[in-house]
Amino acid sequence: MYANLFGIYPMLVQGGECMVFHDDAPKPKMDALSAHADLSQWSVAALEERLDLLNAEIERTQAMILKKKASQSAAEAVFKRA
């Protein structure tokens, strides 16, 4: 099949319906932080990068938990004095 002037492959007719195929169809996005990503197609380098991102996200989350606990403790201390 050859692309026409508009960059679209000729239409295929199946079961009375027309389908158009584009050269520039978006590729599926591999979301590195998705908890349920299909990892079977990822390279070792991509998996290592994902692990680095996840570890950084864990550290960021732990830091936020500590910050919120400190704020909560400070607020409790203020209201206990009153």
Q: What is the pLDDT of residues 19-76, one digit of tens each?
A: 555 556 555 555 767 888 889 999 999 999 999 999 999 999 999 999 999 999 999 9
Task: Please tell me the distance from the alpha carbon of residue 72 to that of residue 66, in angstroms, as a whole number.
Answer: 10
7 vs 2, 38, 54, 74, CA distance in Å? 9, 31, 39, 62
* pLDDT for the residue numbered 29: 56
Q: First CA to last CA across the chain, in angstroms?
A: 80
Secondary structure (3-state) at 14: strand
pTM confidence score: 0.55
Alpha carbon of residue 21 to chain centroid: 26
Closest CA to 39 of 48, 57, 26: 48
